[in-house]
Amino acid sequence: MFANLLLLAVLAALALYVAGIYNGLVRLREGVRVAWSNIGVVLKQRHEELPKLVEACRQYMQHEAATLERVMQARSAVASAQGSGNVPALGAAEGQLRMGLGQLFAVAEAYPSLKADVSFAQLSARISALEDQIADRRELYNDSVNLNNIRIDSVPDTFIARAWGFQRADLLEFSASETADVDVRQLFRS
């Protein structure tokens, strides 16, 4: 009788332990999803602002159609990668968009009337603020992914993660060329 109660108590404790690990893994997985979604919110805001910025520039920069087109193509690639959940593609597309925006702002320096335009100033300030928010949310996403992946790979959590199909998540990473400083002199020559 005592042995049965002891066995029952041990099984109940083990079940609670497994349930605690499972629930912790669920919280981490959902934290990764929320962090990804939060990136999407700011990307969508930037996605909506970029055509306004390009239109403001188009009025002044008749000779810079290629620069404006690169920004819009990169914008489309970011939206596509984010919508499909393709983390590596998003990293590459973000790098292209940052380069395009860098070129756009560098070229804008050659147009004093554009720089003085209130609409352009407000839009560029808004996009710069959104870029800062995106960077913060990328960092939060990568922290969430890191915590998730550590738990999934740690014993004893790994046994429960494998049994219930929990997957590692991909970090949002950028290549060295995408994180290198922008050569402003080169942008002015383009």
Q: Going residue by residue through the chain (190 aa), what tens digit of pLDDT does each one get?
A: 888 899 999 999 999 999 999 999 999 999 999 999 999 889 888 888 888 887 777 776 766 677 778 888 888 888 888 888 888 888 888 888 888 888 888 777 777 777 777 888 888 888 888 889 998 999 999 999 999 999 999 999 999 999 999 999 998 876 655 555 545 445 444 4
Coil, helix or strand for 180? coil
Cα distance between residue 153 and residue 142, in whole Å: 16
Number of domains in the chain: 1
Residue 90 lies in a domain: yes
Q: How far is the CA of 45 from the CAs of 50, 53, 86, 124, 150, in angstroms? A: 9, 13, 19, 13, 32
Residue 171 lies in a domain: yes
Q: What is the pLDDT of residue 161?
A: 95
**Tokens 């998003």, located at residue:** 90
Host domain of residue 48: 19-189
Q: What is the pLDDT of residue 184?
A: 44
**Tokens 């403001």, located at residue:** 56
Burial class, 190, CB count within 10 angstroms (exposed 0-12 / middle 13-18 / buried 19+) = exposed
Q: How far is the CA of 66 from the CAs of 96, 156, 185, in angstroms? A: 14, 55, 18
Residue 7 lies in a domain: no
Residue 13 lies in a domain: no
Residue 181 lies in a domain: yes
Residue 73 lies in a domain: yes
Residue type, 47: H
Task: Identify the CATH number of the domain in which residue 106 sits.
Answer: 1.20.1440.20
Q: What is the pLDDT of residue 24?
A: 95
**Tokens 């996605």, located at residue:** 47
**DSSP conformational letter for 154:** S
Residue 6 lies in a domain: no
Residue 88 lies in a domain: yes
Q: What is the pLDDT of residue 188?
A: 42
